[in-house]
Amino acid sequence: MTIRTLRSVEALQAAGLVSDALAPQLAGVEAAYAIALPEPLARVINRSDFLDPVRRQYVPSPEEMDVKDGESGDPIGDRRHSPVPGLVHRYPDRVLIKVTSTCPVYCRFCFRREMVGPEKGEALSKPDLDAVIAYIAAHREIFEVILTGGDPMMLSAARAREITSRLEQVDHVKVIRWHTRMPVTRPDRITPAYAEAVSSRIKAVFVAVHANHANEFTDEAIAACRLLAGQGIALVSQSVLLRGVNDTVEDLSTLMRAFLSAGIKPYYLHQLDAAPGTSHFRMPVAEGQRLVRALRDTLSGLAIPHYVFDIAGGVSKASLALSDIERRDDGWVVRGRDGGDYPLAD
């Protein structure tokens, strides 16, 4: 069955996701940033709710043209840390390979929104991939390779298997990690053949599944995640804290439980990066800290993600979560889930 993807304001308008009054205001957004929304995911959206959290992630808004001071087309410094095309070496022991610039959907808050889209090119060329693999092979400190993009699972199963096989041949690489939205946005693409293509018998393989609201976990999405897990692949989560999407304790709790129910360990909750035209999604750090602390008080440790921020320029990630311990006078005090303070012997 062919899955149709809505790729224009006109297509979104015809599907009842953009009003006739709003459509003319989106011309600039459409010209600046890619649009894609697969019809099965579009059907999850409540057409009568303009504030629907899935709609907000994928349907363009005029607010995207409001670029604030401090916002950047490369907010986490990919270019600064790219020694060869398609590769980012930000941390000593791991690298990113940007294998493609296309995605099954285009998130309206994407930190690479000025680098992704159909017009940016399809995938790394063979010479570029050869150069990337040669770089990894020459740097024995590289323990982990992260496949990203775009969405790396836009690659065919044959191409995914080729990349897996080539990384398997680099002895010092022990972990292969795929960062993707595919299981929740196009679960039909996660076939048994695809799950086999990204698995490995000699390397540890992780798939980081990106979702931001529990409504994205359809029955098909859950089945796709379990298909990957059935190949011995470990699943972890990625989410972004977004105003109007997952900005309540209830929404975040339900999302983290949805991850766990699909066999995915919550891993990262990102503070929004300062990409152009995304300020309407941004949550204050203090509010994020309050939400994550509330999660720790209500969910098991399995369900708690790391609340992190990528420092501008590609310096590193930083933990933003509040600590439950602080130094007072000559001793330590820890906070309980009841809000009380309790002494801790040193």
Specify the CATH number for the domain of residue 263. 3.20.20.70
* pLDDT for position 121: 65
* pLDDT for position 2: 86
Domain assignment present for 277: yes
| pLDDT (tens digit per residue) in 299-319 | 999 999 999 999 998 899 999
CA trace torsion 212, 208, 180, 322 (10° rounding): 40
- Binning pLDDT at 50, 70 and 90, where does residue 86 land? very high
pLDDT at 122 over 70: no
pLDDT at 289 over 70: yes
| pLDDT (tens digit per residue) in 97-119 | 999 999 999 999 999 999 998 87
Domain assignment present for 147: yes
Domain assignment present for 184: yes
Domain assignment present for 61: no
Q: Is the dihedral of CA 185, 239, 93, 196 positive or negative?
A: negative
Domain assignment present for 73: yes
For the chain, how many structural domains are there in total? 1
Following DSSP, what letter does each residue of 171-200 receive, concatenated?
TT--EEEEEESHHHH-GGG--HHHHHHH--
3-state secondary structure of 327: strand
Contact assessment for residue 307 and residue 271, using Cβ atoms and an 8 Å cutoff:
yes
Domain assignment present for 58: no
Query: Whole domain around residue 99: which residue ranges?
Result: 68-326
Positions marked active-site: 90-91, 94, 103, 107, 110, 112, 273, 310, 317
Domain assignment present for 145: yes
**Residues of the chain with pLDDT > 70: what percent?**
99
Domain assignment present for 286: yes
Contact assessment for residue 114 and residue 76, using Cβ atoms and an 8 Å cutoff:
no
What's the average model confidence in pLDDT over 196-211?
98
